[in-house]
Amino acid sequence: MTIKTEALTKKFGKITAVNELNLEVEEGEIFGLLGPNGAGKTTLISMLCTILKPTSGRAWVNGFDIVKEPGKVRKSIGIVFQQASVDDLLTGRENLALHNLLFEVPKAIRKQRINEVLAIVNLEKRADDFVNTYSGGMRRRLELARGIMHHPKILFLDEPTLGLDPQTREHIWDYIKELAQKECMTVLLTTHYMEEAEQLCDRVAIIDYGKIAALDSPDALKSRVAGDVVTIKQRIPDIESIKKLDYVMKAEDKDGLLYISIKDAGKHLQDLLSNSGPIDFVEVRRGTLNDVFLHYTGREIREAEAEGGFWERMMKR
Amino acid sequence: MSELEGIYAVWLREAKIYIREKERLISAVISPLLWIFGFGGGLGSSVQSMSGYPYQTFIYPGIMVMTVLFTSLFYGVYIIWDRKLDFLKEVLVAPVSRASVFAGKMLGGATDAMVQVVYLIIIGFFISIPFTPLVIIEAFLMLLLISIAMVSIGLVIGANLKSPEGFSLIINFVMWPMFFFSGALFPVSNLGPWLSAITFINPLTYGVDAMRGIILNINHFPIMLDVAALALFAAMMIGLGVASFKRM
Ligand SMILES: Nc1ncnc2c1ncn2[C@@H]1O[C@H](COP(=O)(O)OP(=O)(O)O)[C@@H](O)[C@H]1O
Ligand SMILES: [Mg+2]
């Protein structure tokens, strides 16, 4: 077990940010924590990387207790924080060089490591420019490069693509996947973007109010609760007879439209429609993690722009 | 070994940023100039000579101490900005002990102050301060000790506060009394019992006394007492600082 938590809890006064959370992450997997703002994702990661002490409960990272052996935990991990933490008044290369010193990369391979990671994130040409001339995406890539440069066993990524444009986001997903494979790293990432969890993660935990609501591979999660969603408009509303069909998981009437979750639309759509009476409208779509989230939490994940983008940080020292 | 590299990394970052922030470099040159020529020169034209020296020369050691005091204490505010802007997280999550992080920051602050000391020494030649190579070395080492003590106070306060405004408020309460009751501007030998009590518990008094002894040969206390008092105080502040960094 690369990461394990037992009833891990963090309280800030009255707020319980992480609530008796149990989690096990296997070696080599890309594991996603999906949840809305304020769900406790950052707090969880901060505890795992030893910059925040738990209120109660225990956790192990790479087999080391996060409270008793923080030094050993730190030697095992790399982290990309939600808030950018690269230094504006240093160049990209200088930032990486400092990281080499701080994270005990052997002297003989330092230069080579820097060039290696710069190549991976495609920042070779801008490496000697000051970071305050970088775009948001470039900073994120620099942080990513820094997080992996000392070849950590475990990489924490807190909202790695927060506030980035879709294109950059996909680039970064590719990097993360490639890296995880190449370096045999375990990756624990947090996100409130559905696509990110779906595209990137081997397993996803849905986290809400500091607790895990559901945990599985994205596909399993979707087929478990969401399946496919068929939306129809019946001339004669009859939700009850549809609910009786054995492949129907859930049926809901919203403003005259009937939202039906079924296990396999390809197989059952014909039968469903022939049981629906005359209809005016039909639409079929695959279930998404959003449906899963809705199912477990009763709320939608707000895609609205999250706390603290890079631009809040314009004031530098 | 790796702890030393950690200290070096933290210090290197501070030094690079200091050099790159032009405002900091410029104010580092200007503020001591103002004190020596504005205050020392201005007041000196109406004040009689003190202990056999022109007033400007008499307060020169005090101005050195004061410059180091201000720069060193205020350096603590950067730790608050670092935390606010998350620059510090990278360092806090590194496998480097907090004692080393503190040491790196402390040396960074001392470097800022000692750069100013170099300017001041150069200015000193122009206003005919009686320098010899030995005096310069002694003065430099003494000011380094003072700086280490004062940077540590600043870092202790900075590490325990969240807002830069709060820091300025508190640091002013620390800085001005320390400065006024240190004998930097007037000798401590002929004060009333109240004032002299405050002066004696003020660690900076010993710094000013030592500097005046080194540069002008006017000592109120034995120099070893000055050094011991400051070193003891610096050690206490470093202890407090490391403890504060551990809680960060
Ligand atoms: N330092 C803190 N002090 C007080 N409350 C905090 C602090 N950090 C986080 N919280 C609260 O804990 C909850 C979880 O926050 P966070 O872990 O940042 O969530 P997420 O990363 O999932 O958006 C939120 O309600 C937040 O306001
Ligand atoms: Mg967060």
Strands A15-25 and A3-12: antiparallel
SS3 B202: coil
Task: Produce one character per residue of B205-223: b if its CB has 16 or more CB atoms within 10 Å, e if not.
Answer: bbbbbbbbbbbbebebbee
Cα of A211 vs centre of ligand 1, distance in Å, is 13
Min Cα separation A260/chain B (Å) = 46
Cα of A82 vs centre of ligand 2, distance in Å, is: 6
Is residue B238 left, alpha or beta, with left meaning phi > 0 and alpha meaning psi from -120 to 50?
Answer: alpha
Sign of CA dihedral B163, B167, B168, B170: positive
Kindly give the distance from the C-alpha atom of residue A191 to the centroid of ligand 2, in angstroms, as a whole number: 8
- Give the span between the Cα atoms of A25 and A186, in whole angstroms: 8
Is residue B27 pLDDT above 70, yes or no?
yes
The domain made up of A228-286 has a fold known as Alpha-Beta Plaits (3.30.70)
B193 in reach of chain A (CB within 8 A): no
pLDDT at A307 (0 to 100): 40
Closest alpha carbon within chain A to B19: A89
pLDDT at A315: 37
Instruction: Calculate mean pLDDT across residues B175-188.
Output: 83
**Under DSSP, is residue B213 helix (H, G, I), strand (E, B) or coil?**
helix
Supply the pLDDT for residue B12. Answer: 96
Contact A101/B at CB under 8 A: yes
SS (H, E, C) chain A: CCEEEEEEEEEECCEEEEEEEEEEECCCCEEEEECCCCCCHHHHHHHHCCCCCCCEEEEEECCEECCCCHHHHHHHEEEECCCCCCCCCCEHHHHHHHHHHHCCCCHHHHHHHHHHHHHHCCCHHHCCCEHHHCCHHHHHHHHHHHHHHCCCCEEEEECCCCCCCHHHHHHHHHHHHHHHHHHCCEEEEEECCHHHHHHHCCEEEEEECCEEEEEECHHHHHHHHHCEEEEEEECCCCHHHHHCCCCEEEEEEECCEEEEEECCHHHHHHHHHHCCCCEEEEEEEECCHHHHHHHHHCCCCCCCCCCCCHHHHHCCC
- The residues facing A56 across adjacent strands are A9
Backbone angles phi, psi at A23, to 5 degrees: -150, 140
Res B46 pLDDT > 80: no
Q: Which residues contact A163 (CB under 8 A, 6 or more apart)?
A: A136, A305, A306, A309, A310
pLDDT computed for residue B1 by the predictor: 59
Q: Which of 3.40.50.300, 3.40.50.1100, 3.30.420.10, 1.10.220.70 would CATH assign to domain A3-218+304-316?
A: 3.40.50.300
B contact test, residue of A12, A102, A148 with most B CBs within 10 A: A102
**What pLDDT is recorded for position A102?**
93
Please give the Cα distance from B75 to B232 (Å, whole number).
Answer: 21
What pLDDT score does B211 carry?
Answer: 94
Quick check: A55 and A47 in contact, CB under 8 A? no
- Residue A85: list chain B partners with CB under 8 A: 86-90
Low-confidence ranges of chain A (pLDDT < 50): 303-317
Mean per-residue pLDDT of chain B? 89
- Dihedral sign of CA atoms B114, B119, B124, B125 in order: positive
Q: Confirm if B74 and B54 have CB atoms less than 8 A apart.
A: no
Please check the confidence at residue B68 and state whether its pLDDT lies above 90.
yes
Q: Which residues of A, range 77-96, sit inside 8 Å of B by Cβ?
A: 77, 79, 81, 83-87, 89-90, 94
Where are chain A's structural domains?
Answer: 3-218+304-316, 228-286
Report the atom number in ligand 1 closest to the C-alpha of A45.
17
Confirm whether A3-218+304-316 and A228-286 share one CATH topology: no
Contact A262 CB / ligand 1 (< 6 Å): no
DSSP three-state, residue A44: helix
pLDDT of residue A83: 84
Q: Mean pLDDT: which of A155-164, A254-263, B84-93, B156-165 is highest?
A: B156-165
What is the SS3 assignment for A258? Answer: strand
Q: Helix, strand or coil for residue B125?
A: helix
Residue A25 near residue A45, CB atoms below 8 Å: no
